[in-house]
Chain A
Amino acid sequence: MSESSRAGTKKELPEHFKAYKHVWVAVELEHGAVHPVSFELLGEGRKLADKRGAELAGVVMGGDAASVAEAAQACFEYGADLVYTIVDPVLTHYRNESSTKALTDLVNTYKPEILLLGATNLGRDLAGSVATTLKTGLTADCTELAIDNEGSLAATRPTFGGSLLCTIMTLNFRPQMATVRPRVLAMPAREPGRTGQIIACGLGLTEDDIITKVIKFIADRDSHKAQLAYADIVVAGGLGLRSAENFQLVKNLAEVLGAEYGGSRPLVQKGWITADRQIGQTGKTIRPRLYIAAGISGAIQHRVGVEGADMIIAINTDPKAQIFEFAHVGIVADAVELLPKLTAAFSAYLSVNRLAG
């Protein structure tokens, strides 16, 4: 197959795509609140837009004017120059049909060059539909976004469970689409009072047009479920704990530190923890100030989920464990023995100093 016959590798962007400019972030507004991943994307989008000499826009869709206006203002404060808004009761709850139409129509009308979404269940549900409708390229779960020398989006993502990284480009289709998981990108600083332009748009759908109905939304009882990704301190365990009972040692330390707890993928497979507590490439990406990994070998699948942590502490009996290659502080020790001692040390220190204070 010759180079020129491959759709993806043509050097020259087709004429009808040349009008595509600017960087967009599809903002996730659900139940009156913006998912933090949208702000993280705005922070990254700002850099990409500056590099392209383009504007950064947020797309905010929702059912009521007040929460859409509030979300739009937040977009400005996190770096957006303009925000496209759609307010329509049909958009009160996320549904694939309505959101796909809304976002696809906006893209076709206002022609962004780059379109970013969060790699949440919502973002992945929407991005796949939008990219297929637009027949453009979409790169999932990126860990790094950059603009190459020719001005194209270079989207780097782990592949094969994180054993390799690959950089993917969409050279001659627009927009160039990518999703990024929560906490992979840093949260940008907020500039209170920063403003921009709002472009109010319509949906062009009525409730009767949509086949799928939201019967109800059952919020998670265990509010911790969604919080692992955003926790300040995370304690996690791996197979080095040797038994499901010993996982309690991780929980005990987490409790003393007011931390969230999680584990590596094998623990989910063994049923020691639930899937929503899995940390790593196919689980949660975390970005805590302190991460303590107890009895985790640190395979690359795990590493990509934790390397955004400010400080990684590794406890493992194997001095050659991969986790020591990316930890900041390591100790060759049996986690089952060390965890209770560490819990006791923190507990004693914190109670003594609290009494003293």
Chain B
Amino acid sequence: MHIAVCMKQVPDSGQIRVHPVTNTIMRQGVPTIINPYDLFALEEALRLRDKFGGEVTVLTMGPPMAEDSLRKALTFGADRAVLLTDRFFAGSDTLATSFALATALEKIGQEFGEMPIIFTGKQTIDGDTAQVGPGIAKRLNLNQLTYVSRITELDPTAGTITVERRAEGGVQVLATKTPVLITMLEGTNEIRRGSLADAYRAASAKIVTWNAADAGITDLTKCGLRGSPTIVKKVFAPQARAEKAQMLTTEDGYDAAATALMNEIFKRQPALEADLMRFASGQ
């Protein structure tokens, strides 16, 4: 069974700068990591491969330096890494990103074998949109399983899969047919350390590097800024609150401070005091 995992290399810190003219994010000089949510997707894919046999291909779209994240994924045990990189992808929003990734995934299927399961993380920590997974699923006409906490049953031969999906106020148990796109929920597994053999292999492995044409993308108007219906009009830092906090002290000890704090809360919110009384008397 061939499984694909879409990953993203993301900035590891808050030291983000904004280009003064284009209002796009400048990623240069900021340390990068694999989007942490994607590691749950990768581990789940590796477990399925270990159980059913086959290969795991990791795919990322990004600048050439995104190769670092792919190599890291190989040290965890992924079998193949594909880097989709081209200046035409710069400035892609989620619609343009899902177009590029979906096209590359089709190509991966043709080159390295069809994939009954494609994984993504539930979202990235930089964009936080959770839109690219569903976008890929829709474009490739895959059955979409988001926020999956557990794969309870998988029969690669019959092409059936049952999962638990985190929904509002509970867990949905869904049964569907492959091919599927799964976005994996966080905290559902823990990424393995990877073997020494994997580390050696990763160090010298050839990363499959594709530009738009290599990936089979013919319509460049669907890529990058040109293919993005959303535009970033303005990027700005949050405003500080004008009104300063009223500061209390512990000068007279913690007991007095606690009482002063409680009194201040009730002074500012008399209605809350009344409601707390009702709560305390069990009404």
Contact = CB atoms under 8 A, between A and B. Distances in A.
Interface string A332-347: 1100011001101110
A330 B276 contact: no
Contacts of A226: 168-169
A172 B145 CA distance: 31
B170 interface: yes
Question: Which of A216, A331, A332 has the most chain B CB atoms inside 10 A of its CB?
Answer: A331
A327 B264 CA distance: 13
A128 B280 CA distance: 45
B276 A257 contact: yes
B72 interface: no
Interface in A1-57: 1, 5-9, 28, 30-31, 35
A290 B266 CA distance: 10
Interface residues on A, range: 35 or more
Given A122-B167, A166-B232, A313-B261, A6 B226 contact: yes
A329 B261 contact: yes
Given A217-B167, A218-B173, A127 B131 contact: yes
Interface in B244-283: 245-250, 254-255, 257-259, 261-262, 264-265, 268-269, 271-272, 275-277, 279-281
B277 A353 contact: yes
Given A300-B238, A328-B268, A330-B248, A8 B231 contact: yes
Nearest to B137: A129
A326 interface: yes
Contact of B272 (A290, A353, A357): A290
Nearest to A353: B277
B229 A136 contact: yes
A153 to B, nearest CB: 11
A120 B137 CA distance: 19
Main secondary structure of the interface of A (DSSP, over half): mixed
A246 interface: no
Nearest to A275: B187
B246 A217 contact: no
Contacts of B166: 121
A170 B230 contact: yes
A78 interface: no
Given A129-B134, A344-B258, A354 B280 contact: yes
B65 to A, nearest CB: 18
Contacts of A233: 272
B247 to A, nearest CB: 5
Contacts of A304: 238
B128 A141 contact: yes
A138 B126 contact: no
B258 A132 contact: no
Contacts of A136: 95, 229
A193 B93 CA distance: 43
Given A30-B168, A131-B95, A160-B11, A168 B247 contact: no
B123 to A, nearest CB: 8
Contact of A132 (B129, B135, B230): B135
A257 B262 CA distance: 11
Contact of A7 (B175, B227, B233): B227
A351 B126 contact: no
A128 B122 CA distance: 12
B254 A337 contact: yes
B241 interface: yes
B196 interface: no
Contact of B238 (A275, A303, A313, A353): A303
Interface in A291-311: 299-300, 303-304, 310-311
B174 interface: yes
A329 B170 contact: no
Contact of A128 (B130, B175, B245): B130
Contacts of A212: 143, 145, 174-176
Contact of B229 (A7, A167, A257): A7
Interface in A113-166: 120-122, 124-125, 127-129, 131-133, 135-141, 154, 158-166
A214 B172 contact: yes
Shortest 10 CB-CB contacts between residues of A and residues of B: A128-B134, A341-B258, A137-B229, A137-B230, A8-B231, A350-B280, A140-B129, A212-B176, A132-B138, A215-B173
13 contacts: A139-B230, A159-B128, A162-B238, A166-B234, A166-B235, A211-B143, A257-B279, A324-B247, A328-B268, A331-B257, A341-B254, A342-B258, A357-B277
Interface of B: 11, 14, 16, 18, 23, 25, 93-95, 98, 125-135, 137-139, 143-147, 162, 164, 166-177, 186-187, 221, 225-238, 240-241, 243, 245-250, 254-255, 257-259, 261-262, 264-265, 268-269, 271-272, 275-277, 279-281
Given A326-B240, A329-B265, A342-B262, 20 more contacts: A5-B226, A97-B144, A127-B131, A132-B95, A137-B228, A138-B129, A140-B128, A159-B25, A160-B14, A163-B16, A166-B234, A170-B231, A214-B173, A282-B128, A289-B269, A326-B245, A330-B247, A332-B250, A341-B257, A351-B280
